[in-house]
Amino acid sequence: MSDQPRYDPLEKSDLFQDQMASRPLVPGVVARGRQPQEFEEPSSHFLTGVVDGESADTLPGDLRKRWNTEQILERGQEAYDIYCVHCHDVLGTGRGYVPMRGYPQPPSFHTDRMRSKPIGHVFRVITDGFGRMPAHASQVVPADRWAIASYVRALQPSQHAPLDDLNPNDKRAVESGAAADR
């Protein structure tokens, strides 16, 4: 496999009429890591997840001007399902298919330590990687990284909501389910 017939870049080729082995790019192709810029002149907060030298506590204004909360969370869920669920699973517990097959398990998003991290930290981990998690900056555009970070924030109370915060119907359902489990 390592010794295959091939052409080097810019090598002559009789296979094509123009005699060039290098082929022109297909219209609309985007080089890896060079996604089209969705936001004109994005802020430093938007690109780095940092404000005043610290991980940002809030979403950048650039994102909020373009998308409302529902759109951010919908896009976040979609991107999470594409880029994250295979390791972190649908609930964010870190029990995805990849760790089930031997890769070290990532931390759960539902620990006190992870819930206390600012949203900018989540954005920066997606961007730069952390521990065994590789960087995803070349695969995920900044707007989608913020959307994923927002979705992770939405997942966290889903597994750690105080019973008093639930509406009466949900509270009864949880209590009856809890009683049935005993």
Superfamily of domain 57-159: Cytochrome c-like domain (1.10.760.10)
pLDDT reported for residue 73: 97
| Residue 38 banded pLDDT, cuts 50, 70, 90 | low
Residue 101 burial (C-beta neighbours within 10 Å; 0-12, 13-18, 19+) = exposed
pLDDT in tens, 108-141: 999 999 999 999 999 999 999 999 999 999 899 9
State yes or no: pLDDT of 142 exceeds 60: yes
pLDDT in tens, 71-94: 999 999 999 999 999 999 999 999
Region at 154 (left for phi over 0; alpha for psi -120 to 50; beta for the rest): alpha
Instruction: Read off the pTM.
Output: 0.74
Q: How far apart are CA 102 and CA 83, in angstroms?
A: 19
pLDDT reported for residue 159: 83
